[in-house]
């Protein structure tokens, strides 16, 4: 299966390492394991896993890092829990639904904007062309020229933040990042290059569509699905605001709105396993499964 781009290094913030809370939270041997976890996270955008949907077992981590299983388990348990009762504090690790470990504040273990600007200028590159506008609410306009990478990343962070807030409110699937060079990144970049694109407007239309919110059938819109060019165009044109105008009409997938039976789910998971074995990444997998669901319901 395809792996995400690996970072060659991560910054070690001297003051934070010497005087930060990690020395109080973790014993010396646990600190060493935590450093190993940071390096593993750097290979997969903050995730600690063998691949998408395949988390490391504690035994596998012990063998990979040359540690005892007891030490791995002890470190993970401490990192999954908050050190204080401060409501603003977050644990060092988050365990996802598939048991994958994720470094909670991964963005804090990256180079600062100031240092990134220094690296950018030191490479003697021509000055980047900044986007025409950037509005914190998520509405962004990016020119067709090469945008400043820091500004561009800020726009993506806004989009992730607003999608996840929206997804939590309407029980949709959240996203954990937009990896550079991924199918997801290519699609959202294409949307941003459209001067009429408005992410807040997109969310507002989805909010008014019972179908896209999963209130009509078991289908629910995902981030990757709504940013596909054909789906995005249909959404903003209002095709999903009523069954009579929906590209996924009930009449197309069968007039019955009964819940999928056991046979359906057996086929669904078999198809998912087949796609995983083929080597699709998580963004492509979501698209392929959505296509499979549509065709399956036409039968």
Considering only CA atoms, which of 282, 258, 259 is closest in space to residue 272? 282
Q: Please report the pLDDT score of residue 73 as a whole number.
A: 95
Q: Please report the pLDDT score of residue 88 as a whole number.
A: 73
Quick: pLDDT tens for 90-103: 888 999 888 899 98
Domain covering 14-109: architecture? Orthogonal Bundle (1.10)
Q: Please report the pLDDT score of residue 252 as a whole number.
A: 36
Residue 2 reports pLDDT greater than 70: no
Locate tokens 């820091």: which residue? 150
Residue 124 reports pLDDT greater than 60: no
Q: Which one is predicted more confidently, 235 or 271? A: 235
Domain limits, the chain:
14-109, 124-257
Average pLDDT of 243-263?
A: 43
Q: Please report the pLDDT score of residue 68 as a whole number.
A: 94
- The first and second tokens of residue 124, run together, are 């003697």
Locate tokens 């199918």: which residue? 183
Residue 33 reports pLDDT greater than 90: yes
Give CA–CA dist 196/289, Å, rounded.
29
Q: Which one is predicted more confidently, 253 or 106? A: 106
Q: What does R_g of the chain's alpha carbons equal in angstroms?
A: 22
Give CA–CA dist 157/148, Å, rounded.
14
CB 96 within 8 A of CB 41: no
Give CA–CA dist 65/54, Å, rounded.
18
pLDDT band of 291, cuts 50, 70, 90: confident
Residue 210 reports pLDDT greater than 70: yes
């Amino acid at each position: 299966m395809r792996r995400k781009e690996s970072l060659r290094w991560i910054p070690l913030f001297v003051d934070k390492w010497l005087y930060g809370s990690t020395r109080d939270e973790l014993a010396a041997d646990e600190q060493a394991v935590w450093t190993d976890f940071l390096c593993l996270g750097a290979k997969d955008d903050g995730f600690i896993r063998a691949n998408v949907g395949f988390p490391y077992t504690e035994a596998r981590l012990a063998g990979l890092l040359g540690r005892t299983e007891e030490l791995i388990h002890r470190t993970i348990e401490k990192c999954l829990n908050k050190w204080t009762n401060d409501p603003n504090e977050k644990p060092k690790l988050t365990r996802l639904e598939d048991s994958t470990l994720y470094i909670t504040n991964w963005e804090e273990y990256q180079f600062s904007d100031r240092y990134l600007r220094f690296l950018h200028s030191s490479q003697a590159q021509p000055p980047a062309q900044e986007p025409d506008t950037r509005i914190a609410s998520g509405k962004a306009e990016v020119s067709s020229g090469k945008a400043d990478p820091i500004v561009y990343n800020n726009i993506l962070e806004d989009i992730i933040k607003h999608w996840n807030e929206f997804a939590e409110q309407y029980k949709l699937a959240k996203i954990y990042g937009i990896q550079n060079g991924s199918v997801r990144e290519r699609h959202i970049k294409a949307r941003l290059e459209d001067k009429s694109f408005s992410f807040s407007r997109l969310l507002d239309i989805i909010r008014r569509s019972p179908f896209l919110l999963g209130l009509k059938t078991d289908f629910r819109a995902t981030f990757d699905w709504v940013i596909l060019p054909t789906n995005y165009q249909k959404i903003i044109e209002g095709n999903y605001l009523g069954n009579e105008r929906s590209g996924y009409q009930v009449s197309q997938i069968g007039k019955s709105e009964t819940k999928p039976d056991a046979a359906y789910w057996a086929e669904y998971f078999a198809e998912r396993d087949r796609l995983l074995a083929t080597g699709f990444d998580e963004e492509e997998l979501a698209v392929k499964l959505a296509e499979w669901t549509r065709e399956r319901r036409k039968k």
